[in-house]
């Protein structure tokens, strides 16, 4: 496996400038709902914090100044892209343009939205069962852009585009947000830190047969087509389930085999650690683990879609 070559072409953008963009967005929203004076103050403050923004690509400026509420309301799962084609049916249409892939900066913005490291994980601040200690069931040192049950974070993402198939591991990263003496974060450095972790697995786009066993049939016209980037989040369900078992023990719970109606042999020896009289059904805990990783993968995709 080879790593992608690191590019240094992106323009630096500090967290201060990003904050300025958010303030401009908030000011626009408040002005729109008639809180004019406060809205104007926020917009003015935002413009001051955005000094130097004209040197930033226009699309990036739009991204950091877009209000969250606008991103939420404007999210669409299937936009019609350049080069796309709906081959049949009442909406049959073929673009007259060639496919236009995401640029390098655009793609990294989407990838880090879907699986970016957000700095040190702050742990869970309180659990009465742990006093005077802190809960220790998190399995990762760093947080990410999507939530994970109890901080387990067992998922990773793969992606494929016209140039190949890749793996972007962020699960075991510690803190990829580096700040200077003033506390500002350079967006360029943040994206480069993630880009340096990308491993190229193949020089070809991943081949996914357009059949129901592999892809929902309402998707082949727009998914994994030329020009597209397909992000594939993958959860380690076995590892997550082991973490759930540890979590249950740490909180005084245990299991029984509800399929065969059998208790775990010897579980009575651990009555000082877990409640052996009220065990959880194994099938419930398995379903819980599956639901938790599904939520993790879904919110990762949702975060990536919001960036688009």
Statement: residue 139 has pLDDT above 60: yes
Per-residue pLDDT at 134 = 83
- Strands, E, within the chain: which ranges? 2-3, 85-86, 93-94, 117-120, 142-144, 156-161, 164-168, 199-202, 230-234, 255-257, 262-263, 280-281
Show me where the domains of the chain are located. 7-74, 79-307
Q: What sign does the CA torsion over 17, 22, 23, 27 have?
A: positive
Q: What is the mean pLDDT of the chain?
A: 83
Average pLDDT in the 263-284 region? 95
Give pTM, 2 decimals. 0.80
Q: Is 244 helix (H, G, I), strand (E, B) or coil?
A: helix
Q: Any idea which residue has 């403050």 for tokens? A: 45
Residue 85, strand partner residues: 94
Per-residue pLDDT at 78 = 81
Q: How many CB atoms lie within 10 A of CB 46?
A: 22
Q: Is 166 helix (H, G, I), strand (E, B) or coil?
A: strand
Q: How many CB atoms lie within 10 A of CB 143?
A: 21
pLDDT (tens digit, 9 = 90+) per residue, 245-259?
Answer: 999 999 999 999 999
Instruction: Round to whole Å and give the CA distance between 176 and 168.
Output: 13
Q: In the structure encoding, which two tokens stand for residue 266, read together?
A: 């010897």
Statement: residue 11 has pLDDT above 60: no
Contact 195, 108 (CB under 8 A): yes
Report the number of secondary-structure helices (H) and strands (E) in the chain.
8, 12
Between helix 237-250 and helix 282-307 the angle, nearest 10°, is 120
Q: Is 161 helix (H, G, I), strand (E, B) or coil?
A: strand
Classify the phi-psi angles of 55: left when phi > 0, otherwise alpha if psi is within -120 to 50, otherwise beta. Answer: alpha
Instruction: Round to whole Å and give the CA distance between 305 and 146.
Output: 12
Lowest mean pLDDT among 58-67, 117-126, 155-164, 234-243: 58-67
Q: Is 177 helix (H, G, I), strand (E, B) or coil?
A: coil
Q: Is 6 helix (H, G, I), strand (E, B) or coil?
A: coil
Per-residue pLDDT at 35 = 54
Nearest to residue 305, comparing CAs of 103, 79, 142, 118? 79
Residue 157, strand partner residues: 168, 233
Statement: residue 38 has pLDDT above 50: no
Distances from the Cα of 255 to the Cα of 121, 124, 162, 252, 261, angstroms: 29, 24, 47, 11, 11
Instruction: Round to whole Å and give the CA distance between 41 and 23.
Output: 9
pLDDT (tens digit, 9 = 90+) per residue, 176-207?
Answer: 987 766 666 677 788 889 999 999 999 999 99
Long-range contacts of 78-81 (CB under 8 A, 24+ apart): 78/222, 79/308, 80/222, 81/222, 81/227, 81/228
């Amino acid at each position: 496996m080879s790593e992608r070559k690191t590019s240094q072409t992106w323009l630096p953008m500090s967290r201060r400038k990003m904050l300025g963009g958010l303030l401009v967005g908030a000011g626009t929203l408040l002005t729109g709902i008639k809180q004019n004076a406060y809205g104007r103050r926020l917009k003015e403050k935002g413009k001051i914090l955005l000094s130097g923004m004209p040197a930033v690509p226009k699309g990036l400026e739009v991204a950091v100044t877009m209000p969250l509420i606008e991103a939420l309301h404007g999210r669409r799962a299937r936009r019609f892209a350049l080069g796309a084609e709906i081959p049949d049916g009442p909406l049959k249409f073929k673009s007259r343009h060639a496919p236009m892939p995401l640029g390098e900066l655009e793609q990294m913005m989407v990838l880090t939205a879907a699986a970016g490291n957000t700095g040190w994980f702050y742990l869970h601040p309180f659990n009465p069962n742990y006093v005077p200690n802190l809960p220790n069931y998190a399995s990762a040192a760093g947080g990410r852009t999507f939530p994970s049950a109890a901080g387990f974070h067992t998922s990773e993402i793969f992606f494929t585009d016209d140039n190949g198939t890749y793996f972007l591991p962020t699960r075991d990263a510690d803190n990829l947000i580096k700040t200077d003496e003033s506390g500002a974060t350079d967006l360029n450095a943040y994206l480069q830190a993630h880009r340096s972790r990308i491993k190229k697995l193949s020089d070809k786009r991943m081949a996914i047969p357009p059949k129901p066993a592999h892809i929902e049939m309402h998707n082949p016209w727009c998914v994994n087509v030329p020009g597209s980037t397909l992000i594939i989040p993958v959860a380690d369900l076995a590892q997550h389930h082991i973490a759930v078992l540890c979590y249950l023990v740490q909180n005084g719970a245990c299991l029984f085999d509800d399929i065969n109606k059998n208790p775990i042999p010897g579980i009575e020896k651990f009555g000082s650690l877990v409640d052996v009289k009220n065990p959880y059904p194994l099938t419930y805990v398995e379903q819980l683990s599956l639901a938790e990783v599904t939520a993790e993968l879904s919110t990762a995709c949702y975060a990536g879609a919001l960036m688009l």
